[in-house]
Amino acid sequence: MAEDIMDRIKKDIESNKIILYIKGTKEQPMCGFSAQAVAIFSQLGVPFETRDVLDGSGLREALPQHSNWPTFPQVFVNGELVGGCDIVTEMYEKGELQPLVQKAIAG
């Protein structure tokens, strides 16, 4: 079963150009940090997927192991961990996130 969830994470990260693992949903984030990450990507106006780590499927336990990253949200662009809320916010404020995201969408 542990294998299944690791496979699911890998497939999701590979098949979605932008995916955010958050607490709650895009429409209703359950944590301020997750809400902020969602707000930034909404602001960028690009399509992105989210997964709810509180959905009881074991994501909350498995993802930190997969990414070697203990907290949520976790933002992946083109299969790479970009970071959590602080990194994404800092990159957005410095104008570094937009080009990264545009490149991923175009690529």
Partner 1 sequence: MADVAERIVAALKTRLNAESVEIADESAGHAGHAGAMRGGGHYRVTVVSGEFAGKSRVERHRMVYEALESEMGAAIHALALRTLAPDERA
Where on the chain is the footprint of partner 1 (CB under 8 A)? 23, 30-33, 68-71, 81-87, 90-91
Smallest separation (angstroms) from partner 1 to the CB of 57: 18
Pick the closer one to partner 1 by CB: 1 or 36: 36
In whole angstroms, the minimum distance from the beta carbon of 76 to partner 1 comes to 11
Edge-to-edge strand order for the sheet containing 49-52? 49-52, 18-22, 74-77, 80-83
Residue type present at position 49? E
How far is CA 94 from its chain centroid? 19
Closer to partner 1 by CB, 1 or 41: give it.
41
My answer on whether omega of the bond before 47 falls inside 30° of 0, hence cis, is no
